[in-house]
Amino acid sequence: MPPLLAGCARATLALSDGALFSGYAAGGEAVASGEVVFNTSMFGYQEMLTDPSYRGQILVLTAPHVGNVGVNDDDQESARVWAEGLIVPDLSLLPSNWRATGGLLERLEALGVPVAWGFDTRALVLHLREKGALPGVLVAGREPARGELTKLLARAHGTDGCDLTREVARTQTEKWEAAPWQPPGEEPRKANGGPRIAVVDCGAKRSILRHLVGAGAEVTVVPPDSGAARILALRPAGVVVSNGPGDPAAVAAVPETIRHLLGKVPLLGICLGHQLLALALGGRTYKLRFGHHGANHPVRDEGTGAGWITSQNHNYAVDPASLPVGTRVSMTNLTDGSVEGIAAEELRAEGIQFHPEAGPGPHDALGVFARFVWRCRKGSA
């Protein structure tokens, strides 16, 4: 071990297939278990860590330096960190950014989230690409005791069969008014008489809500178990079913709610919401080998032939062969041919597998929000 690293505490990642990876711990002792996934984005670590979709997952980042810009309140996608642990090649302890209000490590350490650095993330990512997303255990700050990893791995599990939406979603209906981030000193923009849109919170990112408001909508967020009658009582001009964690096939209540909303109001499903819409229409979902996690995934709009670069974070996809008559594939992933969008025009319903709000990522798909709000405005006129 190099002299500069001689005093560093160790960190060990054990995967369910028996593979071991090691590096160093940042912060205190901590243990995490969950499904190990990687994200190839070069920026946006705070948005990723606070995305509720990462509930139950240990996040591996491939960017060479993480922590450079610190953390701040504006970039939070939720009220807390949801990733079970963080593994990076290198960690910056001194942030350099005018928006920073603190450092990444101090924020994660205060929350008890294990942070590990110095890992050969290239080897780890190649292993996950070959074997697929695997359950794993991260022990940071100490050497695991003999037999400890075996016992911990016996309790570790992936997201298959797990409905995690209730763990991350709101439990009360809430009106959302915060607009997208604006320079200091500007008056906040608020919807003024725009269409009322109900967002079914399965783990909604704040950026989705901000962009809906920014597109002119009045947004009310409802818990995932609200039911169609309770949602329709709000008299919404449209309904958005949000992103979220876990296995879509394990989420029982939301597809049933969607089935009772189909044809009554325009519907937009985002990521998990897209998968739940497909299930409500009678389709099936399946698990991808290692999922799509990153900010540079190319997709094709099947209607126009246009290519979009998109931000994605999902382990499951819709089986196109299972879609019923009247539902078409509207977007396709250009990397593996998987479904990136569906549309059921007669029912005024569409699903988008990627994240149009990005956070982090490119802005190619931001028009999805303006188009949906326009449809809702037109329908309620």
Catalytic one of 274, 293, 297, 355: 355
C-beta contacts of 305-309 below 8 A and 24+ residues apart:
307/334, 308/364, 308/365, 309/362, 309/364
297 is catalytic: no
* Bridge partner residues of 20 (DSSP): 14
Q: From residue 7, how far is each of 84, 103, 115, 345 by CA, in Å?
A: 25, 22, 17, 62
* Bridge partner residues of 35 (DSSP): 57, 135
271 is catalytic: yes
Helices and strands: H and E segment counts in the chain: 10, 17
Catalytic one of 47, 77, 218, 271: 271
Q: 207, 248, 189: which is closest to 224 by C-alpha?
A: 248
Q: Give me 268's structure tokens.
A: 């937009």
Burial category of 103 from C-beta neighbours within 10 Å (exposed 0-12, middle 13-18, buried 19 and up): middle
Q: 276, 352, 355, 289: which is closest to 47 by C-alpha?
A: 355
Give the contacts of 311 (CB within 8 A, at least 6 positions apart): 41, 294, 295, 297, 354, 355, 358, 359, 360, 361, 362
Question: Could you tell me the end-to-end alpha-carbon distance of the chain, in angstroms, rounded to an integer?
Answer: 70
Cα–Cα distance for residue pair 57/80, rounded to 1 Å: 15
357 is catalytic: yes
C-alpha R_g of the chain: 21
Burial category of 91 from C-beta neighbours within 10 Å (exposed 0-12, middle 13-18, buried 19 and up): buried
Task: Kindly list the catalytic residues.
Answer: 271, 355, 357
